[in-house]
A and B are shown apart, each in its own frame.
Chain A
Amino acid sequence: MVNGKISETQFVMIITAFLQGSVLALSFNATTKHDTWLAVLAGFILFIPVTLCYASLAKRFAGLNLMQMSEAILGPYWGKGISLMYSWFFLILLALNVRDLGNFYTIQFMPETPLPFFIIVFAAVCAYAVYIGIEVLARLGVFFVAIPFIIIPFTSLLLFKDMSISAFLPIFSAPLKEFIHGTHIITAIPLGETIMMLMFIPSLNSTERITKNALLGLFFGTICLLAVSVRNTAVLGYTEYIWSSPSLQAVRLIDIGNVLTRLDVLIGIGHTFMMFFKCSLLYYCVVLSLAQLLRLKTYTPLILPIGLIAITLSMIMNASTVEREATGDAHLMQASLFSLIFPPVLLLIAKLRNLPDKRNYSEKSN
């Protein structure tokens, strides 16, 4: 059913590009303000063991994806329950991200265009990407990863004269409670969403070096996250946390001799590319997981209905950006459950039940 082969490099690129999807225009400066770079570092360090846990699951159950794993670990009923919840989680993530992109356009660039227009056009492209398959997406990953690695250094260079190191002082001024909150957001939302990597395990060429590759992808993604938060803080100073998109605001300040101005469009284009990649992967996760639950031979019949559900969900889930912000903490808890709590619990149960049973498993995979 899953017919695709992803090389090791492509796997790293998928994780990096997926993380970069959250980076270019969105920002996590609101709670930790100028200490965000510290929160990113702390989040990265805290997330390493979680990644190790994902990799360990992938190694233990080589050839199985998250849905099959949970069924193998918890048995058919409980396993299906967890699988269904994960399908729901991926659907929510898809809807949230599609909505984010739509709002990004309506807030920053085209306030008069109706939101559904962006969402439908965007979702249609993602649907096509899912239709042609994960293998194509994986090949595209290499190209997509390059985009932020060009845009971020380029904009930082042009903004160099506007940066001031004193914006980072005094270090660690955020109250501990808020710092923990900020770190939690970084860990559970941009980094924790890499739980989706467990959906691709059967498509991988080999899972031998998956630990190293997953960490490498995480590392590259975090570097971008760090670079963006450092740039924004250094450039924007006191105002960094009032903007809906600090990155865009920072880049708007670029003014090189009255010629090179309004480069926010550059960020807009890059962000659209990266969100396309991220949303396509999430879309793929939703349809694949549901196809497996429903024991379908292929996931293609699900693409259209899931797309319609995701579009509708994204439109109705929040009435306004204010509501979105207010429900942020609820989503944080939900994301923590799926990305930080379930996987270690699954691994623990697998260890206790001594799974996978080697004999049983080799029969299955043949």
Chain B
Amino acid sequence: MKKLRPMLIIIIAFVTLLTLPGCWSAKGLSSLAIVTGIGIDKGASLDQLLLTIQIVKPSQAQVPSSEGGKSRGKAFWNATCAGETMIGAIREVTHLIGKEPFLAHSNVIIFGNDFATTGVKKTLDFFLRNPETQPTALILVASGRAGDILNVESEAEILPVQNIIKIIKGAAAISQFKVITINDFTNNLMSKTTAPIAPLVTITQNGNRQNIYVSGLAVFKKDKLVGALNDMETRGLLWTTGDVKKGLILITSPEDTGNVAFEISKSKSKVTPEIKDGRVIIHIEVRTETNLVEQTSADKIYFPVVALLEERQAEVIRQEIMAAFDKSAELSADIFGFGDIVYKNFPAQWQSLEDHWDEVYPRIDLVLDIKVTMRETGLVTQPVSPEK
């Protein structure tokens, strides 16, 4: 027995070495159809989904060599599949190319306009339940068909989806809209009152070329698309939620002879609810710091006009917030999440408000307290004009 022991260990080691390494569900790159983005449109009948699935062609997606990549053809392929369920439609891909769709890199989900108005909830379950999909995938709403958006090629990126991701992340940095992931969207959807939002993407025609343009936010009620916010209204929403990071505020110069542009350097907000005599009052406090970056007039920016400039900027912010609120009141969609804020702070009074929140919401009194502080004025201190 003593002598057998080393032999036994060696045999066991060999058996384990031969059986355990490697993965059960190992998938080679060549057998996978890597899905980068999914566009969801309404199919022929009401229940049917029409998916546009963007699949990478790994051989074409390599960085083009010196002779240029143009001649090599597209690095992606958009498969169009129909089905009653998401999984059913996606599996259709296998029928077309014999490869298994791999969803771990599907970073963009686009809802077509027609589909979004009929309700998107039925597709979300798939993305949340599947272990391959990521909860950080971006959600977008197309102004037209989602499939068309995925077809727009870009000069800068090999894949249309990569281009869309870049645009979204870049423009969100200048507070044009908010990055919405599946997780954010679901969270809003599961709230009793908050209306989910998602960036709105359109196609612009520039001569022969089509370009992707992302601007504004689509507004959902429950899970149905009901309207959209324009750029101004979008920033109004972002001021309140404290999501403004950067961006420009344009006002007229102190003597109204031109324009002055300010770059936002910092902004924070605080929302406090109040219930008085059965009326809901929301106090919104915004504190912003800006830097002067450009002026088109020759007005002197000196200390006495600072207060005026700050007040004019505050007025811009005030108008944007009111525009956003008026739009949401018109749609009676609580994009600000005021319902949640009231519920969280006044759970007792909420009971009576919950049922008719749709009627209460448009009649909320907003009390705005906005303060803008001007900090720097750039490299010049005097107006650029001939001495008088």
Contacts and interface: CB of A to CB of B under 8 A. Distances in A.
Contact of B135 (A111, A117, A169, A252): A252
Contacts of B345: 169-170
B5 to A, nearest CB: 15
B136 A261 contact: yes
Contacts of A166: 340-341, 344
B190 interface: yes
A107 B343 CA distance: 35
Interface residues of A, number: 23
A112 B24 CA distance: 8
Nearest to B188: A238
B186 interface: yes
B344 A170 contact: yes
| Most chain A Cβ neighbours within 10 Å, of B23, B135, B186 | B135
A141 to B, nearest CB: 27
Given A239-B183, A255-B136, A107 B347 contact: no
Contacts of A356: none
Interface string B184-201: 001100110000000000
A113 interface: yes
A117 B24 contact: yes
Contact of B191 (A108, A170, A238): A238
Contacts of A78: none
Nearest to B350: A170
A236 B186 CA distance: 10
Contacts of A255: 136
Interface in A52-111: 107-111
Interface in A217-268: 236-239, 242, 249, 252-253, 255, 261-262
B135 A253 contact: yes
Interface in B165-198: 181, 183, 186-187, 190-191
A327 interface: no
Contacts of A252: 134-136
B187 A110 contact: no
Given A170-B345, A255-B136, A111 B131 contact: yes
Given A170-B343, A170-B345, A255-B136, A238 B25 contact: no
A298 interface: no
B128 interface: yes
Contacts of A242: 128, 190
B149 to A, nearest CB: 22
A341 B275 CA distance: 48
Nearest to B132: A111
A242 B187 CA distance: 11
Interface string A267-284: 000000000000000000
Contacts of A169: 344-345
Interface in B322-375: 340-341, 343-345, 347
Given A239-B186, A239-B187, A253-B135, A113 B343 contact: no
B136 A110 contact: no
Given A110-B25, A113-B25, A173 B347 contact: yes
A136 B75 CA distance: 56
B24 A238 contact: no
Given A249-B135, A252-B136, A253-B136, A112 B187 contact: no
Q: Which 8 residue pairs across A and B have the least CB separation, nearest first?
A: A169-B344, A170-B347, A238-B190, A112-B25, A113-B24, A237-B187, A255-B136, A238-B187
Interface of B: 23-25, 128, 131, 134-136, 181, 183, 186-187, 190-191, 340-341, 343-345, 347
Given A107-B131, A111-B25, A262-B134, 8 more contacts: A169-B344, A170-B344, A236-B183, A238-B191, A239-B183, A242-B190, A252-B134, A252-B136
29 contacts: A108-B131, A109-B131, A110-B23, A110-B24, A111-B25, A111-B131, A112-B24, A112-B25, A113-B25, A166-B341, A166-B344, A169-B345, A170-B343, A170-B344, A173-B347, A236-B183, A237-B187, A238-B187, A238-B191, A239-B183, A239-B190, A249-B135, A252-B134, A252-B135, A253-B136, A253-B183, A255-B136, A261-B136, A262-B134
